[in-house]
Copies of this chain bind each other. A is one copy, B any other.
């Protein structure tokens, strides 16, 4: 059914049909009703492509999840690519929040997961083909930045989650991040309050902003408290369960393991728990563990994991809202926002017994 057909049926012209659909004034109520009734009856809806070609706005954005592995380092991860990104605790909350918020603002959302440079090329082309009005990128690494930077320069609307605004010299994009640094400061400060001074960190994939910032918060806090940190105190993980496992094994390889470990996300904390248990040790008696993300499973762990909560939904909602607003205003502008991180105390950390107390 085309507007032409509907028009003939009603003895009107396409122009009139179009005008009632687009809510033009100066149309008699009677015509309006007649047309709407027919639209309902015949399930007519204007062809979106024709509309767009005629100048009507798209109202479509994309959410692009980046899972590009561009380093050749061996990964301690499951070998099949498919199992990777959706294990990520942020996947569901971010995707669903973007979808919900966009739908609320009357936008459609395209979803795409990019595993390689070629995938990113395809993403680029959905801009050039004018399929979308803008996009939200999640978790870009530096190497992908060039391509996104070009898109921004070409006046496309872009929001980024988990990407530092300092990568790009210009600021005409939207950057929404968790306050990873602050969260990490809170976590480490808590460990210090509990009397720990020998603290290790298992980092995330340091190509990701969140991993970098969490490490920075760790270092800064220790430094501010005058605690010297050896190189030994850092294990480079990659946000996967198995790297958490390896991290613990690394820290316990020698005679002087730390008394607490700051694990850069909860998924790695799961691996850490396993390693601790294999070593015949107990959490928190023998080692305190603190995580990050407050993934929903973290409260089910045994013992329940102390962690830092960040709201992926809030981040995604904010990114979506700001992106669509700037699309609607047709005005590209730079926005940088951080979303709070809060410490969730559970049972995986305990105070160090000082010499005073033990005697």
Which residues of A are interface residues toward B (Cβ below 8 A)? 43-50, 52-53, 63, 82, 85-88, 91-93, 95-97, 99-100, 103, 108-113, 119, 122, 124-126, 128-131, 154, 270, 273, 296-297, 300-302, 313
Whether B91 and A119, one on each chain, are in contact in the complex, defined by CB atoms closer than 8 angstroms, is no
**Number of identical protomers:** 2
Whether B128 and A113, one on each chain, are in contact in the complex, defined by CB atoms closer than 8 angstroms, is no
Give the Cβ gap from A324 to chain B, nearest Cβ, in Å: 16
Contact partner, A96, options B50, B53, B93, B113, Cβ 8 Å: B113
Give the Cβ gap from A299 to chain B, nearest Cβ, in Å: 9
Give the Cβ gap from A230 to chain B, nearest Cβ, in Å: 32
A85 CA / B110 CA spacing, docked (Å): 18
A113 CA / B53 CA spacing, docked (Å): 27
- For A122, what are the chain B residues with a Cβ–Cβ distance below 8 Å? 103
- For A93, what are the chain B residues with a Cβ–Cβ distance below 8 Å? 86
Give the Cβ gap from A239 to chain B, nearest Cβ, in Å: 15
Whether A47 and B53, one on each chain, are in contact in the complex, defined by CB atoms closer than 8 angstroms, is yes
Contact partner, A128, options B44, B100, B112, Cβ 8 Å: B44
Contact partner, A300, options B119, B124, B270, Cβ 8 Å: B270
Whether B86 and A128, one on each chain, are in contact in the complex, defined by CB atoms closer than 8 angstroms, is no
A296 CA / B91 CA spacing, docked (Å): 14
Give the Cβ gap from A50 to chain B, nearest Cβ, in Å: 6
